[in-house]
Structure 1
Amino acid sequence: MILNTELEYKGNLFPADITDYKKDVDVLHFSTSNNIILQLTVLRDSLLRFRYTTVGKFDNDFSYAINEDASRGYNHLEITDDDKKYIVTTSKLICHIHKADLRKSIFDAKDHTLICEDELGFHWEESYELGGDIVKMSKAAQNGESYYGLGDKPQHINLKGRRFENWATDSYAFGKDTDPIYKAIPFYTGLHHGKSYGIFFDNTFKTFFDFCQERRNVTSFWAQGGEMNYYFIYGPKMQDVVTSYTDLTGTPELPPLWALGYHQCKWSYYPESNVKEITNKFRELKIPCDAIYLDIDYMEGFRCFTWSKDHFPEPKRMVKELADDGFKTVVIIDPGIKIDNAYSVFKEGLDKDYFCKRADGPYMKGKVWPGECYFPDFTRPEVREWWAGLFKELVEDIGVKGVWNDMNEPAVMDVPGKTFPADVRHDYDGNPCSHQKAHNIYGMQMARATYHGLKRFNYPKRPFVITRSAYSGTQRYTSTWMGDNVASWEHLQIANIQAQRLALSGFSFAGSDIGGFAEQPNGELYARWIQLGAFHPFCRTHSSGDHGDQEPWAFDEEITNVVRKFIEIRYELLPYLYTAFYQYAHDNVPMLKSLVLFDQEDSQTHYRTDEFICGNQLLICPINEPNSQGRRMYIPKGEWYNFWTKELVSGGKEAWVEADLDSMPIFVKAGAIIPKYPVQQYVGEKDIEELTLDVYYKNGKEDSELYEDANDGYDYTKGRYSLKKFNLAGTDDKLIIRIHKRGKYMTSYSTFKINLFGLPFKVASIKVDNEYVDLKDVKFNGANTLVISKEFTNLQIKA
């Protein structure tokens, strides 16, 4: 117990003076006279980890969030000191650690500007109610600082002036100020004076973040238990912060291409005749769709891994017939296992002692859809292995292609906190703990086990999993959606913000329930939501079903046509979206970029919420008010083509953009080369015989990419992929496109159809690989369209 009253302030305790320092390669230890230790690990020149203990020793160092393949290594590390501080220098950062109280200041090593400094720094409060410490960190906010991140919070994109709680919570029909919500992603990015940094507080207890709400110039974060353990990530570009955090916590492997198609879901499609009616209607109306979802009513009495004999008497036959028509079947699996001795999954889990227990021994019992249930402890490796094995019949035998994990916060009905009591115990991979510590990672570990099951039994094809609850790093295993939203214009805006915020938080493969889960949208709202959803990485309509239908044809013919039009645009853009996913999986680059991420230098972007960049070159701005013929929007700096009219506009300003019901504001970055497929009713319906490249002229240079592989399977990991890098360079009288190619994959098409937009000159000559060609040979038709072998490496078009 600390008796020195100078180290106590308003019930908070603080580190005393440093009495000892030692260095162990890249790990520095600073010990104080009151038994506090700061462990500073230099992971990279721009990435430092700070870890504190108040008891003189550290617990086992274990994290579910950190990706074991994360980049490590630095170019320079030097430690010096003077009377007042230790100075830790890398090639990117200088960190001062004050000898009097362990407080830290971090500077840019290049120009010595202050990036982030402790206010009170690390402190803690002894909580007798919690039986441990509340660990706290406070930072001085810099002038004009803005904050972004924290996963799926349904609030303004800029977090400044707000306070948040991270505790995964079933939040049915949440609103724009609901907090906490389904996910706990304790990572944020700060931006001031043109420089950006990130802080990832890797603590799975209930955590809190205050961005200058309580005190105007102070940002703080704290946890109701566990360690003060956080990572400091420096940019100075915000995109570098996000990619470094994403590298640290991991990215998914590539999904099967069909997972980027359009998906249809409802609570619930049953019996089989209803499922067939829905899928037949998609094909009859020629509205592309790749996946049909079965909600809890496909099961026998809501027992996971069973099928209702009445509603689905022959699931294997049905799933095959759906597959023959291009539909992949995705089924829901929840964590609650019904207490029923005649139910084999329950019996096996009970016999093997795999369910969560209370502190004094009995199993944790909670009510969910099947009634009273026990819940597997997914923090035990052998339980995850067992759970993965349960998917054998569903996937290998019946042919299900995807699994949807719901209710995994974990959600429990008819109890005040909607979840397990605090005294439930978890193994935590050999680090036994209470539910207070394991709650936020429960859904993550369930999704992890599900993913490994699908990967095992769907091999050699790729798995597809979707989860509702998540902690940092969950993106390695699964996609996600934003939970049970509402059919309202406000929720259309919320969906846009949440998708951007998740992408900023390392979790790109996300989307909302298009049209709203609760309540009934009108046709206009549904059409506007489809327009937004078509540019989200995960694209699915889902509704609670108790209020009527929510299929693309559920309104009137005008709405159906608008919906079809935008789903077709998505299918045309699949190679563009797949390339964006490759850049995410391979280079950690988010698939969606808030304007502030796209151009942090422009202070106009710091508070923009509606506009975002899809991939690297499409600017999207949804219409989120009824009866709109258009809207004002901010067009970022640079030159942009209106997707519909091909008119070129200069950015850096607001503009009014026309957008009747069958349109929405979409702009293409000048210089972009956008790859497009022909419209298909489902992925793989057609052999792609020709790939379209929409080329948008620029007076200057622009790079684009096209990634392709077999669209499923793992051959791409053996080099059977194709990565084309396009370098475009334009002048007043010339356009040059060079292609650099990598990979061994042979595409099915042999030609590119090139559409040239915005050329300021009349084409007089075309050179392919330094040889002039007859305009007739490339089918040049005067409308700036030509057809050319995919093998070309250099194309010159001149006046």
Structure 2
Amino acid sequence: MIKRYVFGTPLETDAVLNKPAACRDKPPYLGKCENALIYKMDEEDIVYGLGENVRGMNKRGWIYESNCTDDPVHLEETKSLYGAHNFILVSGEKQFGLFLDTPGKVVFDIGYTNSSQLKITLEDGDYELYIIDGGTPDDIITWFRELIGPSYLPPKWAFGFGQSRWSYASSKEVRQVAARYRENHIPLDSIYLDIDYMERYKDFTIDREAFPDFEQLVEDMKQQGIHLIPIIDGGVKIEDGYDVYEEGVKNGFFCKDEDGDDFVVGVWPGKCHFPDMLDEKARAWFGDKYKFLLDKGIEGFWNDMNEPAIFYSEKRLKKVFEKLEEYRKMNLDVNTFFEFQDLVSTISKNPEDYRSFYHTYKGKRIRHDKVHNLFGYFMTRSAGEAFERLEPDKRILMFSRASYIGMHRYGGIWTGDNKSWWSHILLNLKMMPSLNMCGFLYSGADIGGFGADATQDLVLRWMALGIFMPLMRDHSARGTRRQEAYAFEDIEAFRGIIGLRYRLLPYLYSEFMKAALKNGMYARPLGFVWPEDRIARQVEDQLLIGESIMIAPVYEQNAVGRTVYLPEEMKFLRFHGQEVTEQSVLPAGHHFLEIPLEEVVLFIRKGCLLPLASGGENVEQVDWNQLKLYGFAEKGDSYELYDDDGVSPHVILEENLRRIVLK
């Protein structure tokens, strides 16, 4: 059952497609105090959700903010990341889902101030509240997903492995990366282009000195089964003669300051304007700009810096420089020294700047901070709607850094600028179910970590998790250690683990597409399946992937293995590289398993089958028709395999299913 409640005069976010009539009764479960909603939690309650955020699958014990933030340091004390996903699911004696549809900042205090109290505080009193109850956690998720509409479907090739770095700065370097992968027979389907492919960091341009043969490069890579994926940023450089800038100024497509002038902000290219992504005409104009690269053979993009990130505003810079001049004349004591030290950090992402520009949204002038969480969503929406116009019969890869619920219909997400930290392997795993709940099925983290220097063992362990993520991409920052698979000493181990991804593809793609088309989850916590098992409900380092398998990656350095909890009897499979080297049935309970760096383990549930292909060096080489079955099953048990052409966005579930029966 879904109930909708309307408070005040909320702004329409277009997050919900199928709105029920508003209820007039009091919302169940919740008390109300000014601009806060309060729920008294039972001791056994688990609170799932909030999409992309820190800490555990169970969100109890911390304060979280829905406030899209460009923050590259993801710590336990962090309160907000790049997404704003206002959905939670309370699972206990009472089970219900809650979605707050409001584009401004929302604070979720989940047992931090008061250990038994969930308190949700909103910046103002204008919002829509949805309460979903009356079923299992899986039921509640499905009903919520039906409410917000279908998840984005990427092309099949986008389930292959991708290599990225900030930056591959020339055609020559891109060709070298491709050659190293191919000569080492490590599978690869995509190479990502960060900001250095652009001319002076300008969207929808190409640096012809570094990439003089861009069109030929795109074609040559396709001949090798490799797609180039360029980045697009949220700011347009102020530069005379730059067509995107001049068109935006002429047509009034940029965000305005208080005086009605185009708002000036500093991002990658220096001084920029933000396209008014919330204005329908500006959004269509910006979306059509992707045609510049589509016409050159590009079939995928990633949107970045769209929280939107602000390096500085001219107004803030002036204030800081004036204050620095005051400090220059001071004898700095302990207080003024730390004030001085902190001052420069206030230049970036300053709240005052987010209150200093305006959008035209549904015919009204609205200050940005009131709709802040919609910017990244509507930037990706601009692309998604343009792709429907420009390439109506083709799936184009699109994923974004910033997001709000609703954006899941137009693209996936990657979880932003993580670090080469062991704790971030586990954070990657814990985010997956929360993101799935909010409709973001095509998602993944930067394997190996974006910031800091990676070690071979960390990247191998992360790969062993990453092969199960829909978006599998290795990405790292300028100035860090190179972490391409061929850059380490044990190339064979990388070849084997990445190669296993391609053996698993028929199953992974099938489970992803079934979850997307049925409004289900691709990755689930154990507590969803075994709600009466108190141990299973507490497990936060294992995941169910699809209907057949459970994974339990190693995420600690120097660990020779790990303890795994089985809620029921399962079949254990050990892979050394791409080959199964051990199969055994393990009883329910705890088991310590040795797992060397070059190996991957998984567990097949009773009555289930796992189809494996023979592999390939790109997705196109994978044969979906010649599959080998592994299972914990008896004669007559079956698996429904989904497959399609991987290109058309117009798919019908039933037309693409075939049943594989164990004979």
What corresponds to 2:320 in structure 1?
A: none
1:714-749: CA deviation from partner (whole Å, max 9, x where unpaired) = 4635x89420245xxxxxxxxxx4xxxxxxxxxxxx
| Change in CA separation of 1:211 and 1:720 when aligned onto 2, cut-off 3 Å | closer
- 2:86 maps to amino acid: P
Query: Whole-Å Cα distance in 1 between the matches of residues 39 and 139 of structure 2?
Result: 22
The answer to whether the aligner puts 1:616 opposite 2:547 as a matched pair is yes
Query: Whole-Å Cα distance in 1 between the matches of residues 592 and 63 of structure 2?
Result: 34
What corresponds to 1:381 in structure 2?
A: 280
| Change in CA separation of 1:700 and 1:47 when aligned onto 2, cut-off 3 Å | farther
Question: What does 1:268-307 align with in structure 2 at a 5 Å threshold?
Answer: 268-307=167-206
What corresponds to 1:408 in structure 2?
A: 306
**TM superposition score normalised by structure 2:** 0.90
Conserved in 1, the CA contact under 8 Å of 2:428 and 2:444? yes
Equivalent position to 2:645, from 710, 713, 723: 710
Q: Secondary structure of 1:486's partner?
A: coil
Conserved in 1, the CA contact under 8 Å of 2:171 and 2:213? no
What corresponds to 2:497 in structure 1?
A: 566
Conserved in 1, the CA contact under 8 Å of 2:151 and 2:440? no
Question: What does 1:631-780 align with in structure 2 at a 5 Å threshold?
Answer: 631-644=562-575, 645-651=582-588, 653-685=589-621, 688=623, 690-698=625-633, 704-714=639-649, 716-717=651-652, 721-726=655-660, 737=661
1:258-283: CA deviation from partner (whole Å, max 9, x where unpaired) = 01110110000021110000001111
- 1:674 maps to amino acid: L
Equivalent position to 1:598, from 529, 538, 546: 529
What corresponds to 1:544 in structure 2?
A: 477
Query: Whole-Å Cα distance in 1 between the matches of residues 58 and 553 of structure 2?
Result: 19
| Change in CA separation of 1:400 and 1:230 when aligned onto 2, cut-off 3 Å | same
What corresponds to 1:468 in structure 2?
A: 401
Question: What does 1:425-444 align with in structure 2 at a 5 Å threshold?
Answer: 425-444=358-377
Equivalent position to 1:392, from 281, 291, 298: 291
How far apart are residue 207 of structure 1 and its match? Answer: 0.3
Conserved in 2, the CA contact under 8 Å of 1:259 and 1:464? yes
Query: Whole-Å Cα distance in 1 between the matches of residues 107 and 147 of structure 2?
Result: 22
What corresponds to 2:317 in structure 1?
A: none
| Change in CA separation of 1:669 and 1:553 when aligned onto 2, cut-off 3 Å | same
Conserved in 2, the CA contact under 8 Å of 1:489 and 1:525? yes
What corresponds to 2:413 in structure 1?
A: 480
The answer to whether the aligner puts 1:64 opposite 2:14 as a matched pair is yes
Q: Secondary structure of 1:427's partner?
A: strand
Conserved in 1, the CA contact under 8 Å of 2:151 and 2:441? no
Question: What does 1:137-148 align with in structure 2 at a 5 Å threshold?
Answer: 137-148=37-48
How far apart are residue 296 of structure 1 and its match? Answer: 0.2
Higher relative contact order (CA 8 A, sep 6+): 2
Query: Whole-Å Cα distance in 2 between the matches of residues 641 and 336 of structure 1?
Result: 50
Runs of at least 5 residues in structure 1 that lack an aligned partner in the other structure: 1-45, 78-87, 89-94, 106-116, 125-134, 727-736, 738-794
Query: Whole-Å Cα distance in 1 between the matches of residues 134 and 160 of structure 2?
Result: 34
Query: Whole-Å Cα distance in 1 between the matches of residues 303 and 60 of structure 2?
Result: 33
Conserved in 1, the CA contact under 8 Å of 2:613 and 2:626? yes
**TM superposition score normalised by structure 1:** 0.75
1:539-559: CA deviation from partner (whole Å, max 9, x where unpaired) = 000000312311001110x2x
Conserved in 1, the CA contact under 8 Å of 2:4 and 2:130? yes
Query: Whole-Å Cα distance in 2 between the matches of residues 629 and 142 of structure 1?
Result: 38
Query: Whole-Å Cα distance in 2 between the matches of residues 722 and 166 of structure 1?
Result: 38
What corresponds to 2:248 in structure 1?
A: 349
What corresponds to 1:362 in structure 2?
A: 261
How far apart are residue 423 of structure 1 and its match? Answer: 3.4
Query: Whole-Å Cα distance in 2 between the matches of residues 690 and 212 of structure 1?
Result: 51
| Change in CA separation of 1:247 and 1:155 when aligned onto 2, cut-off 3 Å | same
Runs of at least 5 residues in structure 2 that lack an aligned partner in the other structure: 313-346, 576-581
Equivalent position to 1:177, from 77, 101, 105: 77
How far apart are residue 392 of structure 1 and its match? Answer: 1.5
- 1:406 maps to amino acid: D
- 1:549 maps to amino acid: R
1:613-644: CA deviation from partner (whole Å, max 9, x where unpaired) = 11221111111111222111212224333344
How far apart are residue 578 of structure 1 and its match? Answer: 1.4
| Change in CA separation of 1:394 and 1:635 when aligned onto 2, cut-off 3 Å | same
Conserved in 2, the CA contact under 8 Å of 1:263 and 1:289? yes
How far apart are residue 457 of structure 1 and its match? Answer: 3.2
Q: Percent identity?
A: 30
Conserved in 2, the CA contact under 8 Å of 1:402 and 1:454? no
Conserved in 2, the CA contact under 8 Å of 1:203 and 1:226? no
- 1:166 maps to amino acid: S
The answer to whether the aligner puts 1:509 opposite 2:442 as a matched pair is yes
Query: Whole-Å Cα distance in 2 between the matches of residues 702 and 139 of structure 1?
Result: 44
Query: Whole-Å Cα distance in 2 between the matches of residues 620 and 685 of structure 1?
Result: 26
What corresponds to 2:518 in structure 1?
A: 587
How far apart are residue 490 of structure 1 and its match? Answer: 1.4
The answer to whether the aligner puts 1:220 opposite 2:119 as a matched pair is yes
- 1:200 maps to amino acid: F
How far apart are residue 142 of structure 1 and its match? Answer: 2.7
Conserved in 1, the CA contact under 8 Å of 2:82 and 2:307? yes
| Change in CA separation of 1:664 and 1:680 when aligned onto 2, cut-off 3 Å | closer
Equivalent position to 2:224, from 325, 338, 351: 325
Conserved in 1, the CA contact under 8 Å of 2:571 and 2:632? no
Deviates more, 1:271-280 or 1:243-252: 243-252
How far apart are residue 343 of structure 1 and its match? Answer: 0.5
Query: Whole-Å Cα distance in 2 between the matches of residues 585 and 616 of structure 1?
Result: 14
| Change in CA separation of 1:665 and 1:693 when aligned onto 2, cut-off 3 Å | closer
| Change in CA separation of 1:226 and 1:366 when aligned onto 2, cut-off 3 Å | farther
- 1:552 maps to amino acid: A
- 2:171 maps to amino acid: E
How far apart are residue 505 of structure 1 and its match? Answer: 3.0
Q: Secondary structure of 1:609's partner?
A: coil
How far apart are residue 416 of structure 1 and its match? Answer: 4.3
What corresponds to 1:424 in structure 2?
A: 357
How far apart are residue 470 of structure 1 and its match? Answer: 0.6
How far apart are residue 689 of structure 1 and its match? Answer: 7.7
Conserved in 2, the CA contact under 8 Å of 1:618 and 1:666? yes
Conserved in 2, the CA contact under 8 Å of 1:169 and 1:418? no
Query: Whole-Å Cα distance in 1 between the matches of residues 649 and 268 of structure 2?
Result: 37
Query: Whole-Å Cα distance in 1 between the matches of residues 231 and 215 of structure 2?
Result: 16
Conserved in 2, the CA contact under 8 Å of 1:251 and 1:584? no
Conserved in 2, the CA contact under 8 Å of 1:465 and 1:478? yes
Query: Whole-Å Cα distance in 2 between the matches of residues 666 and 214 of structure 1?
Result: 39
What corresponds to 1:30 in structure 2?
A: none
Question: What does 1:783-798 align with in structure 2 at a 5 Å threshold?
Answer: 796=663
What corresponds to 2:33 in structure 1?
A: 123
| Change in CA separation of 1:689 and 1:526 when aligned onto 2, cut-off 3 Å | closer
Query: Whole-Å Cα distance in 2 between the matches of residues 456 and 638 of structure 1?
Result: 50
Equivalent position to 1:251, from 150, 153, 171: 150
- 1:385 maps to amino acid: A
Q: Secondary structure of 1:575's partner?
A: helix
Higher alpha-carbon Rg: 1
- 2:65 maps to amino acid: E
Conserved in 2, the CA contact under 8 Å of 1:618 and 1:669? yes
How far apart are residue 153 of structure 1 and its match? Answer: 1.1
- 2:513 maps to amino acid: Y
Conserved in 2, the CA contact under 8 Å of 1:176 and 1:494? no
Structure with a larger share of its residues in strand: 1
